[in-house]
Amino acid sequence: MSSKRFVGKGVIVTGGASGIGKATAERFLEEGAKVAIVDVSRKNGETTVKEFKRKGYSPILLTGDVTSAKDVKRMVREARSRLGSIDVVFNNAGILVEGTIEKVSEEDWDRIMSVNVKGPFLMSKEIIPIMLKQKKGVIVNNASCSGLVGDRNAIAYNTSKGAVVLMTKCLALDYCTENIRVNCVCPGEIDTPMFRQEAKARNMPVEEYRKQLCEYHPIGRLGKPVEVANAVLFLASDEASFITGTAFSVDGGYTCQ
């Protein structure tokens, strides 16, 4: 049951049309927030917004590229105008590139760093001045358990997520005295479209890949998008008022091995 912790709060969720972003946007809506869904795909975004509207919610859709400073400025400006305030930002948009250093191209490397690292950087750069004027705000970044440990065949992805973890800590230190908190969630394998992308890249049936990944997680299963969403909402809520700069693992025990 919703506790309505975010009534009247303005929230931006990047990569909000699918997976963890979609689940998080829905949870914020359930708890009374005014939500702006940011996504690079207008088609996917419109589908998600229509789905939410059928449930009685009224999110707004902002289409743009989080790696473009121009797009980010435009989307933040519109979000602020339409939401009234921006109290929470969930920097969730991200991509996956697999391979060893021998196989990852320079173009692949630049692309994943642009989306996974530059994206949260640009969004935070636009949001922080607004939160300073408001004298409050919360940023939650979506890192990964892959940003805390090494993985085979994942040099680009893990490096990008490790950067997000340290970006989170630096932002937290820079603005902790300004009533702005910054944390990140570090999910394990979650049952999302990205998980299916991984299976396809390995030429493996989805269920076979699922079984393999479940063995890596002590809890014995993949996570659900809503389980990560619930962690994001906790970190964004007043219940977490003494928490900043943390990398909050939501990984079924993956990183405790």
**What percentage of the chain reaches a pLDDT higher than 70?**
99
Domains of the chain from N-terminus onward: 10-189+224-252 (3.40.50.720)
Question: Closest Cα partner for 48 from 75, 11, 20?
Answer: 20
As a whole number, mean pLDDT of residues 178-204 equals: 92
Q: Is the pLDDT of residue 1 over 70?
A: no
Question: Which residues are known catalytic residues?
Answer: 157
d(CA 209, CA 245): 33
pLDDT score of 193: 85
What's the pLDDT tens digit per position in 20-38? 999 999 999 999 999 999 9
Residue 44 has pLDDT above 60, yes or no: yes
Output the DSSP codes for the chain.
----TTTT-EEEEETTTSHHHHHHHHHHHHTT-EEEEEES-HHHHHHHHHHHHHTT---EEEE--TT-HHHHHHHHHHHHHHHS---EEEE-------B-TTT--HHHHHHHHIIIIIHHHHHHHHHHHHHHHHT-EEEEEE--GGGTS--TTBHHHHHHHHHHHHHHHHHHHHHGGGTEEEEEEEE-SBSSHHHHHHHHHTT--HHHHHHHHHTTSTTSSPBPHHHHHHHHHHHHSGGGTT--S-EEEESTTGGG-
Q: How confident is the model at residue 244 (pLDDT cuts 50, 70, 90)?
A: very high
CB atoms within 10 A of CB 110: 13
Evaluate if pTM is beyond 0.85: yes
Tens-place pLDDT, residues 113-151: 999 999 999 999 999 999 999 999 999 999 999 999 999
pLDDT for the residue 182: 99
In the predicted structure, residue 200 carries a pLDDT above the cut 90: no
